[in-house]
């Protein structure tokens, strides 16, 4: 894999939750390219294994581990597997997360009577279970792996926790209140953890990706003929750089935050990688 710059992670063990997915699979490969032994945790074991296989084919060291970030028991079991295979963890990347239609309204703006229309989900129709699912996946799904794996990190030199937030954390996007609230909680929790662990050698930061066309959101952002959807047009009109990000453009920030040489005094920050989206008022 081509990296923007090299950092030395030889001898380090990295745990990447959601590592079977698009962005975190790429993060796992970048960490492995720098010499880390990488444990890829995902609910979808076959996806985790596929990323581990790619890393191994490239000369790196990795294992795929089946784990549910919403189950402490499953995470404890995963930790045993990681510790047996590689030893204790030095880097925890909390990447598992995402939105779900059950936490999403159909329309951007409420209009009187929307709750009576059968073909749409109004704010009043949102299912509390759907909202909880999205909130828990992103927030508890960051907190529980931290409870389990941070025990390995305590007292080590150069230990790092990296969370994955989102643009929604700075200002909520329309239609997705559960995901927006959950990612705001992830950013807030990043600051809380950074303070809480500041005396025991763990730095805690987050990356907030802007808009990247990946397999999971391609249908939302692009029409089948490759043209932009109306939501995409809006996103790009609010992105000063006028384009989507390429997933590889997140790697520089990942490596910077993970590197103790580069970021030893950087703690509790959430770095947007967004082409200026979060900085733009729209005027
Ligand atoms: P993705 O769907 O490709 O990856 C998410 C991975 O998490 C999947 O492999 C999935 O199997 C796994 N997962 C889901 N529930 C899990 C659970 N309970 N336990 C363990 N693993 C579970 O999505 P992605 O786009 O690569 O997103 C990765 C992270 O980046 C997420 O936190 C997402 O919210 C965040 N993010 C993505 C974007 C984007 O534009 N794609 C923007 C901002 C933030």
Prediction ipTM score:
0.98
Secondary structure class of 125 (helix, strand, coil): helix
With a 6 Å cutoff on the Cβ, whether 166 touches ligand 1 is yes
| Ligand 1 midpoint to CA 97 (Å) | 4
Is pLDDT above 90 for 122?
Answer: yes
Q: Whole-structure pTM over 0.80, yes or no? A: yes
Give the model's pLDDT for residue 281.
95
Q: For residue 201, is it within any domain? A: yes
Pocket test for ligand 1, best of 17, 19, 21, 102 (most atoms within 8 A of CB): 21
With respect to residue 229, please indicate whether it lies within any of the assigned structural domains: no
136 Cα: distance to centroid of ligand 1 (angstroms): 13
If one counts the domains in the chain, the total is 1
Q: Is residue 221, in this structure, part of any structural domain at all?
A: no
Residue 214 pLDDT level (bands cut at 50, 70, 90): confident
**Based on the number of CB atoms within 10 Å of its own CB, is 196 exposed (0-12), middle (13-18) or buried (19 or more)?**
middle
Could you tell me if residue 18 is left (phi over 0), alpha (psi between -120 and 50 degrees) or otherwise beta? left
| Residues annotated as part of the active site | 179
**Does 241 reside within a domain?**
no
pLDDT at position 219 is: 79
Residue 180 lies in a domain: yes
Domain CATH number, residue 52: 3.40.50.720
The answer to whether residue 88 sits within a structural domain is yes
In whole angstroms, what is the distance from residue 185 CA to residue 191 CA?
10
CA of 99, closest atom in ligand 1: 34
Q: Is the CB of 152 under 6 A from ligand 1?
A: no
CA-to-CA distance for 15 and 36, rounded, in angstroms? 10
What pLDDT, on a 0 to 100 scale, did the predictor assign at position 158?
A: 92
Domain enclosing residue 52, as ranges: 13-213+259-275
In the chain, count H helices and then E strands. 10, 7
Ligand 1 contact via 20 beta carbon (within 6 Å)? yes
Question: Does any domain span residue 49?
Answer: yes
- Cα(164) to ligand 1 centroid in Å equals 9
**Does residue 242 sit within a domain?**
no
């Amino acid at each position: 894999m081509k990296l923007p710059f090299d950092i030395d992670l030889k001898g380090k063990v990295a745990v990447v939750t959601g590592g079977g997915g698009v962005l975190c699979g790429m993060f796992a490969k970048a960490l492995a390219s720098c010499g880390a032994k990488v444990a890829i945790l995902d609910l979808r074991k076959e996806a985790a294994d596929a990323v581990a296989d790619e890393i191994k084919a490239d000369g790196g060291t990795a294992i795929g581990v089946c784990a549910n970030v919403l189950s402490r028991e499953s995470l404890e079991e995963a930790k045993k597997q990681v510790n047996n295979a590689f030893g204790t963890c030095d880097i925890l990347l909390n990447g598992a997360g995402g939105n779900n239609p059950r936490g999403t309204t159909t329309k951007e703006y409420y209009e009187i009577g929307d709750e009576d229309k059968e073909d749409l989900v109004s704010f009043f129709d949102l299912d509390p279970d759907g909202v909880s699912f999205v909130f828990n996946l992103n927030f508890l799904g960051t907190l529980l792996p931290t409870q389990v794996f941070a025990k390995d990190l305590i007292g080590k030199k150069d230990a790092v926790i990296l969370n994955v937030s989102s643009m929604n954390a700075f200002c909520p996007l329309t239609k997705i209140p559960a995901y927006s609230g959950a990612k705001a909680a992830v950013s807030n929790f990043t600051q809380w953890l950074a303070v809480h662990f500041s005396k025991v050698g763990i730095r805690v930061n987050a990356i907030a990706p802007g808009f990247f066309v990946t397999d999971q959101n391609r249908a939302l952002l692009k029409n089948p003929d490759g043209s932009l959807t109306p939501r995409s047009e809006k996103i790009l009109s609010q992105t000063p750089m006028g384009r989507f990000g390429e997933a590889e453009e997140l790697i520089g920030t990942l490596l910077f935050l993970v590197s103790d040489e580069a970021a030893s005094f950087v703690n509790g920050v959430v770095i947007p990688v967004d082409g200026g989206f979060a900085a733009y008022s729209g005027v």
